[in-house]
Amino acid sequence: MVDTDRFRPSVTVAAVIEQGGRYLLVEEETPEGLRLNNPAGHVERGESPVEAVVREALEETARHFVPQAFLGVYLARFQRPAAAAPEDVTYVRLAFSGTVGEAIAGRALDAGIHRTLWLSAAELAACPGRHRSPLVLQCVHDHAAGRRLPLDAVFSHASLRAPGGQGRESRP
């Protein structure tokens, strides 16, 4: 018997990228209008969180992201009332900090991403109504406060990729 009331959070990753006191953000289209977010997205089947954050940062910023530290695990609930089907999702965000290179010339940004921009923590804090979620600013605050955990704090077993759950374990 399937438990349809079982809690099923949505697992996402986010890249927190700082250069010269400014943070790389994306401005993306949402049902609520244009919102600011860290480069972020969902972990796909067979993908480790580190692989997911590298992929998402590239897709959303057209820059190669090199993770250097794990910031932490963040949870937030999002509720959107809708006439047809209300949305009530809890997101589990795994946030990583790291560096990026220059934008790759000619590489398009992911669908729905309007542009990238660099903002200071104070500039980001001054516009909370434009944030995709409260986790955007929380991740930036934690980074600015010096939070850094080793990348190997996030473990991905090889069973993510291997048929039948067999395979090698991997660390970032």
Q: In Å, how far from its chain's centre is CA 27?
A: 13
116 in any annotated domain: yes
Strand partners, 118: 24
Percent of the chain with pLDDT over 70: 90
Mean pLDDT of 82-106: 89
Q: Does some domain include residue 30?
A: yes
CATH of the domain at 79: 3.90.79.10
Residue 170 lies in a domain: no
56 within a domain of the structure (yes/no) = yes
Tens of pLDDT, residues 51-70: 999 999 999 999 999 999 99
How many distinct structural domains can be found in the chain?
A: 1
pLDDT band at 91 (very low <50, low <70, confident <90, very high): very high
Residue 165 lies in a domain: no
Cβ partners under 8 Å of residue 15, min gap 6: 24, 38, 39, 40, 53, 56, 57, 65, 67, 95, 96, 97, 98, 100
Tell me, what amino acid is at 18?
A: E
Q: Identify the DSSP state of 150.
A: -
Residue of higher predicted confidence among 170 and 83: 83
Range of 15's domain?
10-102+111-160
Contact 24, 103 (CB under 8 A): no
Say how many Å lie between the first and final Cα of the chain, rounded.
Answer: 37
Q: Is the pLDDT of residue 108 over 70?
A: yes
* Four-residue CA torsion sign, 136, 96, 157, 54: positive
82 inside domain: yes
> Is residue 169, in this structure, part of any structural domain at all?
no
* Mean pLDDT on 7-12: 90
pLDDT band at 143 (very low <50, low <70, confident <90, very high): very high
Closest to 49 measured CA to CA, from 105, 89, 11, 102 = 11
Over residues 66-89, the pLDDT tens digits come to 999 999 999 999 887 765 677 888
The DSSP code sequence of 53-101 is HHHHHHHHHSS-EEEEEEEEEEEEEEEE--SS--EEEEEEEEEEEEEE-
Mean pLDDT over the full length of the chain? 91
Residue 1 lies in a domain: no
